[in-house]
Chain A
Amino acid sequence: MVELPSVKSVSENLQYIRRTMEAAGQFTAVPGKSMAAVGVAALGGVAANEFLTGAPWSEPHAPALALDVWGIVLALSLAVVGLGVYRKAELMRMPIQAPLIRKLLWGLCPALFLGAVLTNLALATHEFAWLPAIWLGCYGAAIASGGQVSIAPLRYLGVCLLLLAAAAALTPAHMGLTWMALGFGWLHLLFGAYIAWRYHG
């Protein structure tokens, strides 16, 4: 058997176990800088949307234009975050483990799927004013849920987005873009900067 270790050595061993478990069970390659970039893209989207159509997109051609703008923002954001995750994982020399990715996707996808369904419903019924609340709410739910296997700030970001979704649902429709600017823009900038500072990139 092994000689009885010192208190220091016991403590170190326990800390090592804890660190290993955390590393194995947490998706830590969250790119703060990319999140901040997403915030900037979203603010650009809000500005373009405001300039082109304004909210709540009740003009005859407004919904299509607004959706184009947000479709571009979405595609850009996915590309930036995807690249950011890859680069941060490389930088941290942390593997992107398949089981963790599976858990993360199980956390993210249900709410995002619901968001797609509700968006489709809102478009079909011409209830465009609901879109900011739907998008903020479903995205927030996805982030809060996916954050369970990732770093804590993601969960707080999700909760903040959910609160903004509630605000968007309870305030007049013309304020929709304001809530989107706050949620998709400023919150991402704020949390992205914090994550970049606190979690090294």
Chain B
Amino acid sequence: MARKANAARPAPNQLDPLIHERLRLGILSALVVQESLTFTELRNLLRTTDGNLSVQARRLEEAGYIVCTKRFVGRKPKSTYRLSAAGRRALEEYLETLSGMLPGVEAVRGTRAAGPLRGAAHPLPSPS
């Protein structure tokens, strides 16, 4: 049963435990850049096992942070994941909180990352 995304929303300046776990953080980070990724693509990208990815992805899905679409290609099932609006917002808040904890955050923001550390107001890139 999917729970509402903001049902367990962390208080300001607190890290969302759902995102803080390394693999779940990886899933959300990858889906911020790519509009959608298949299970296999995510597994290879994050270098994890089927079982681990499956469990962690399901937790994000239950929280409403990602959306999973299942279909069959021939006889093989194919799961495709997308980031939901709630997931994007949660990751943005997570990054904001995390960045606030880093004293020299400006130095990191100055890197060439096309990612979370560029700009404070809209830190996440939009998938094209």
Contacts of B36 in A (CB 8 A): 99
Contact of B108 among A5, A14, A95, A97 (CB under 8 A): A14
A2 touching B114 in the complex, CB below 8 Å, given contacts A23-B45, A95-B44: no
Contacts of B25 in A (CB 8 A): 13, 16-17, 20
Contact of A95 among B29, B45, B117 (CB under 8 A): B45
- In the complex, whether B6 has a CB less than 8 A from a CB of chain A is no
The residue in chain A whose Cβ has the minimal distance to the Cβ of B124 is A21
Contacts of A93 in B (CB 8 A): 44, 47
How many chain A residues touch B (CB < 8 A): the figure is: 26
Contacts of A75 in B (CB 8 A): none
Complex: how many Å from CA A92 to CA B50? 19
Contacts of A24 in B (CB 8 A): 29-31, 33-34, 37, 45
Complex: how many Å from CA A177 to CA B16? 61
Complex: how many Å from CA A10 to CA B15? 11
Q: A1-39: which residues lie under 8 A (CB-CB) from chain B? A: 1-2, 4-5, 7, 10-11, 13-14, 16-18, 20-25
Contacts of A20 in B (CB 8 A): 25-26, 29-30, 45-46
Contact of B37 among A2, A13, A18, A99 (CB under 8 A): A99
Shortest CB-to-CB span from B70 to chain A, Å, is: 17
Return the CB mask of B84-103 against A: 1 if under 8 Å, else 0: 00000000000100110111
Additional pairs, 12, CB under 8 Å, beyond known A95-B41, A97-B37: A1-B17, A4-B15, A7-B103, A13-B98, A16-B25, A20-B29, A21-B113, A21-B116, A24-B37, A25-B34, A95-B40, A98-B41
A-B pairs, top 8 by smallest CB distance, nearest first, are A95-B44, A21-B115, A25-B33, A24-B30, A20-B29, A1-B14, A2-B15, A18-B113
